[in-house]
Structure 1
Amino acid sequence: MSRSSRPSLEDIFAEDDEFGLLDVKPRAARGGAVQDRSVTALLEVTNFYEHHSRLPDPDAMDHDEMRLGAIWETVKRAPTDQMRAVDRLGLISGEATPAPRSWQDDPIDTDIPDSLDDIFADDDLDVDASLVELKHTTPSAERHVPDHRAEFVPCHDFEQFRERFETVQRGLEAGERQASPVRKWSVIEPIEGDFFIRNGLLAMIAEKSEMTARGGSRDHRLRVIFSNGTESDPLMSSFRKSLNEDKTARMVQKVGLGPLDPEWESDRLELSGTIYVARSRSEIPAIKEQRMILHKIGVTSQDVARRVADARNDPTFLLAPVEIIATYSLQNLSRSKVENLLHRFFAAARPKELFVTDRFGKKVFPKEWFYVLPEHVGQAAKLIEEGTLHRHRYEVSTQRIVTKA
Structure 2
Amino acid sequence: MAKSFTDEDDALLSELGVEVETARPARLTPRQERIIAGFEDIQRFAEEHGRAPQHGEGRDIFERLYAVRLDRIRALEECRSLVADMDHQGLLTASPEPAPADRSELDDDELLAELGVDADQSDESVTALRHVRPFAEKRAAEEIANRQPCRDFATFKPLFEKVQEELDSGMRETRPFELKAEIQQGRFFIVGGQKAYVAEMGEITTTEHGRTDARLRVIFDNGTESNMLMRSLQRALNKDEAGRRITEPVAGPLFAKTAADGDEASGTIYVLRSRSDHPTVARNRDLVHKIGVTNMNVERRVAGARLQPTFLMADVEVVATYELYNINRTKLENLIHRIFDPARLTIEIRDRFGNPVTPREWFLVPLFVIDDAVAKIRDGSIVDYVYDPDSASLKVRGEGGAAD
**TM-score by structure 1 length?**
0.41
**TM-score by structure 2 length?**
0.41
Compare CA radii of gyration and give the structure with the larger one: 1
Higher relative contact order (CA 8 A, sep 6+): 2
